[in-house]
Amino acid sequence: MTVTTLSAQGLACRRGDRILFRGLDFALQAGEALHLAGPNGVGKSSLIRILAGLREAYAGTVERQGALALLDERPALDGHLPLGQALDFWRRIDRAQPQHAAPPPTTTGGRADPFGLDDLLDVPVRYLSTGQRKRAGLARLAASGAAIWLLDEPLNGLDAHWALAAQAAIAAHLAAGGLALIASHQPLTLDHLRTLALAEYAA
């Protein structure tokens, strides 16, 4: 089993001429999850994008070992395609990527269809509701086989039942040796969950 870690040292983020946070340190090992909490505008999404390598940190460094997967408010699925084909596009890409080769079945918690999408596979993505789209994004994430999950508001738009299912999927991912960083303003019930209140690092 390869080592999976994600850590940050002295991370700072600037947006425009405003420093959102500074001096942020954390380290996550396989099986651990970090709940990123804080009010709107505190920099949760910016931090996730920095960790994903999509944004430069104003200061500090990020170290990671393991492949990344990101879920944000955009599912990156083709709206005109049936959901099955849209998900299949990413499956084909991820299968061709060597670092994503970890077998995904463990991350679905042993259930064949943890996000209840089987009945929706023929429906074009643009007809899906917000919650269904979020579940499709979670399915894309789980199927990627990446060890590090970066989740930006993964429970937004999900009803109580699917919010629990999403957390069960995250728990299964952690149990399978993955790690997760979850930005959410909703309470999470996960084992091995630490909470990082981003507002404490506000500059």
Residue whose CB is less far from another protein, 37 or 154: 154
Provide the residue count of the chain.
203
- Distance, in Å, from the CA atom of 30 to the CA atom of 93, rounded to the nearest integer, reads 25
Binding region for another protein (CB under 8 A) out of 86-94, 106-114, 158-166, 181-189: 86-94
**CA 167, 169, 173, 179 torsion-angle sign:** negative
According to the binding rule CB under 8 A, does residue 23 interact with another protein? Answer: no
* Four-point Cα dihedral 127, 129, 135, 136, nearest 10: 20
The answer to whether residues 199 and 39 touch, using CB atoms and an 8 Å cutoff, is: yes
Residue whose CB is less far from another protein, 37 or 173: 173
Report, in Å, the least distance between residue 8 CB and another protein: 17
Residue whose CB is less far from another protein, 52 or 171: 52
Binding track, positions 34-73, relative to another protein; x by CB under 8 A: ------------------xxxxx-----------xxx-x-
